[in-house]
Amino acid sequence: MWQFLSLGLLAELTVNGILFGAMYGVAAVGLSLIFGTMRIIFIAQGTIIILGAYLVYWLFTLGGIDPYLSLLLVVPAAFIAGAGVYQALFRKAAAISDKNTSLLIAVGLMFLVQNTMSYAWTPNPKSIVTGYTALGVEILNMRLSFTRLMSMVIAFAATGAVVVFLRRTLVGKAVRAASENMQAAMLMGIDPHRVNAIAFAIGFALAGAAGVALATTYPFDPYFGFVFALKALIALALGGIGNVVGALVGGLALGLIESYSAFFISGGWADAISYGVFLLVLMFRPEGLFVRSIKKA
């Protein structure tokens, strides 16, 4: 394939990698937040993103609501659903120190949602076709897909909003305090159920935003969510667990790795290579690639 390689193609591979990676990143940010306070990998995150995508699809086909406009409905609905799911399913399990119960509930939730979606909408892939789906934007001699560009904007905006929330608001500071040391936070008056519910609410809201981004750019089916969660997990490992900006950067890095390896090696190897990178990072830099070495007190 080297004879096809040009600077323009290289740039296009890079841009596409970043565009897809931004979606991995936003999924990883959700994982990072929930892991922060709950200490579990919320494996259903990818499936919730797919549920968000179906919701967008449904609003579009049945209600005729523009996918980007549906952000205004999907994100708040997901936020409330996240808090509700925590209260209904995880509240009891979160209080016990053994985290396996919470993890198993997440696995159960994933299968339940997957199969419900498959029953409701059939396992066949769905996609949303709007007037602007095929639209391209010319930037520096590159033709970029408008919807992918929008997906990247959504991912960046969502992550930015989370960072501002965590850094600037008092509730955000409480979430950070609880992520660092739940026991100390609790003994300073922070209600663990409140911060867990907030982490879930934001995690779901991010999944809603990612659902819009996904639904407008790629075909999706009910079972794609698990793979998506695994990719988000790789992004999380690359960026360093518990680091929100790192999670997004990890997602971008993974997108690039996949994009380059699909071209330079082969499409079939892209997944094997990204999981290989995952293992190498865990073996040699378990704190993440983008974290300055952590000093433990």
Partner 1 sequence: MSATTPVIELDMISKRFGGLVVLKDISMSVGPGEIVGLIGPNGAGKSTLFNVITALYAPEQGEVRFKGRRLTGTRPHNICRLGIARTFQLVRTFLSLTARENVLVGAVYGRGSRGGNVNAIADEALAMVGLTQQQHIVTEHMTLSARRLLEIARALACQPSLLLLDEPMAGLNESEIERMVEVIKRARGERGLSILWVEHKVDAIMKICDRVVVIDHGEKISDGTPAETVSNTKVIEAYLGEPIA
Report the interface residues with partner 1, using CB under 8 A: 170, 173-174, 176-177, 180-181, 183-192, 295, 297
Complex with partner 1: residue 22 or 175, whichever CB lies closer: 175
Output 155 or 195, the one with its CB closest to partner 1. 195
- Residue 181 corresponds to which tokens in the numbers above? 């040391």
**Closest approach of Cβ 236 to partner 1, in Å?**
17
| Shortest Å distance, C-beta 190 to partner 1 | 5
In the complex with partner 1, which residue's Cβ is closer, 85 or 190?
190
Q: How far is the CB of 272 from partner 1 (least distance, A)?
A: 36
Q: How far is the CB of 180 from partner 1 (least distance, A)?
A: 5
Report whether 94 contacts 106 (CB < 8 A): no
Q: How far apart are CA 161 and CA 263, in angstroms?
A: 34
Nearer to partner 1, 163 or 270 (CB): 163
In the complex with partner 1, the residue whose CB is nearer, 98 or 295, is 295
Residue spans of beta strands (DSSP E) within the chain? 136-139, 142-145
**What string of H, E and C letters represents the secondary structure of 149-200?**
HHHHHHHHHHHHHHHHHHHHCHHHHHHHHHHHCHHHHHCCCCCHHHHHHHHH
**What is the rounded distance in angstroms from the CA atom of residue 47 to the CA atom of residue 225?**
4
Q: Which residues of 47-73 are buried (b: 16+ CB within 10 A; e: fewer)?
A: bbbbbbbbbbbbbbeeeebbbbebbeb
**Minimum distance from residue 189 beta carbon to partner 1 (Å):** 3
Question: Between residues 161 and 177, which has the closer beta carbon with respect to partner 1?
Answer: 177
Angle at 286 between CA 190 and CA 229, to 5 degrees: 70
Q: What is the Cα–Cα distance from 233 to 238, expressed in whole angstroms?
A: 9
Q: How far is the CB of 122 from partner 1 (least distance, A)?
A: 46
